[in-house]
A and B are shown apart, each in its own frame.
Chain A
Amino acid sequence: MTLEFTASEMMSVTAARALTNDMTCFVGIGLPSEAANLARLTHAPEVTLIYESGTLQTKPEILPLSIGDGELCESALTTVSVPEMFRYWLQGGHVSVGFLGTAQIDRYANLNTTLIGDYRHPKVRLPGGGGAPEIATNAHEVFITVKHSKRTFVEAVDFITTVGFGRDGKARDDVPHIGRGPTVVITDLCILKPDPTSKELVVTSLHPNVSREAVIEATGWEIRFADSLETTPSPSAHELDVLRRLKARTQAHHAGQS
């Protein structure tokens, strides 16, 4: 029997699979949070999740709407101050993976969450950096999950809020005490990884029933495909069930207030 699943479910399940039990993950809100908690509720029950609000080793029953919902604090091992979180735990080198979303990403995996257009006269003003600029450089590596579209996947971001590999792919070269940077980007169409030498993002795996043309059409630069292009394994019935129940619980909880 073939399971039915949506592209965004495919993305969440694939992003979740990137996490393992031995990782300490600094989690961004939204898609990364959904994926990280799905991992915790399926194959990686021991994964350590940290949110920038100071909640260490948290195990929320429902997905938080904000980075500091009470659920995160009440289910955490302990909660520290925000300066302690960024200085001791992140900058101190205790975070193995930073899991980020973004508004724009470019061929060198630089992220823009600041604005579209010119800085002083923006076309669209976005929220800004938040924790991402330092998560991306102080975590040992970075996972990114974002929906694939031409508006999001651009040749060069309008503004580098958070560095991937810089404008030329060399931004991390010879910088002391800096993490490896983005190692994987998971979208609703495919998996991309930086080329080991040039650092340009390359498609390494297509999700089931996604064509090369669909990826080319949704990418704002001449996207390259790996020679040994793989097909991403489909979600299992268990993964889909856990994800759907997590989302239903979350929606019921947030709507039931006020």
Chain B
Amino acid sequence: MAEFLSLQAAVSRYIDDGDTVAMEGFTHLIPFAAGHEIIRQAKRDLTLIRMTPDLIYDQLIGAGCVRQLIFSWGGNPGVGSLHRLRDAVEQGWPNSVEILEHSHAAMACAYEAGAAGLPLAVLRGYVSSDLPKVNPQIKCIECPFTGEQLAAVPSIRPDVAVVHAQRADRQGNVLIEGIVGVQKEVVLAAKRSIVTVEEIVDDLGASVNACVLPSWAVTAIAQAPQGAKPSYALGYYERDNAFYQAWDEIARDRERFQAWLNDHVLEQGAVS
């Protein structure tokens, strides 16, 4: 059964230095509060996996938590670059970060294969792309039935999955609504999982086919109201597009980024 913990306790207990951590949420429900707690606890040498690193990984990379990044689209959506990611890759600041990059289709398939307990994912992908030349995780296999050449990538099996969701009930069952991304897949693929939620309720109010994670499939739940901001939680608050635009200026400059990190993350207390 899922254990209810404070976010501080959940991050402290279940994320170790050197872990492979996947914090997911496809534009929606990005677990920023948990990311900030990881920064405050100064976790180091993490391998981070995420389809779209987004501002959350830009912040973790700039804060020096990251050794390796596995991703498929590393920009600030609709705005431009992730400057902290670029600074780490291009200049090695604050430390060099090794990157392994995929396409979205391959990562989505790799999460699904991880949830299914398989060692690899197979897809009709990467045809004539240069990505297989620079990412040794991308291989080609032959279909044993038709002979067709298909792409194969290793499944994603992180040490820890971290996701945000709308709500949990008091038994620890979790409801995810709206753009569900790979939230279910990453939790089922990981050895341990931390789910932050907007609120804890008596009744989830889930429809019969809703995306629900049963309590026994989740390790820890922490209440973190507004824990996905500046991304959004459908039914609770909208995406703060103005902040995404403002981030471009904040993250462009090392000192300005560090001042922001200090004021908005390091000197803030943990939620709940």
The chain A residues found within 8 Å of chain B, CB to CB, are 29-30, 52-55, 64-70, 72-74, 79-83, 85-87, 90-91, 114, 119, 122, 125-134, 137-138, 159-163, 166, 171-172, 175-178, 253-258
Contact = CB atoms under 8 A, between A and B. Distances in A.
Contact of A90 (B81, B105, B181): B105
A175 B127 contact: yes
B260 interface: no
Chain A facing B: main interface SS: loop
Interface in B58-91: 71-75, 77-79, 81-82, 85-86, 89-90
Which of A29, A73, A82 has the most chain B CB within a 10 Å cutoff? A82
B103 A130 contact: yes
A126 B131 CA distance: 14
Given A68-B27, A129-B104, A166 B128 contact: yes
Contact of B109 (A55, A86, A119, A130): A86
A65 B239 contact: yes
B234 interface: yes
B238 A257 contact: yes
Given A29-B77, A30-B78, A65-B77, A134 B243 contact: no
A68 B238 CA distance: 11
Contact of B104 (A86, A126, A137, A175): A86
A81 B180 CA distance: 5
B89 A125 contact: yes
Given A79-B178, A81-B181, A127 B75 contact: yes
A25 B219 CA distance: 39
Contacts of B184: 81
A91 B129 contact: no
A175 B179 CA distance: 33
23 contacts: A64-B78, A65-B241, A66-B78, A67-B26, A70-B28, A70-B238, A81-B211, A83-B108, A83-B109, A83-B111, A83-B182, A86-B108, A125-B74, A126-B81, A128-B75, A129-B73, A130-B103, A131-B105, A138-B124, A160-B130, A163-B128, A163-B129, A257-B239
A161 B234 CA distance: 33
B127 A69 contact: no
A125 B81 contact: yes
Interface string B83-123: 00110011000000000011111101101100000000001
B78 A65 contact: yes
B185 to A, nearest CB: 6
Contacts of A85: 108
B27 A128 contact: no
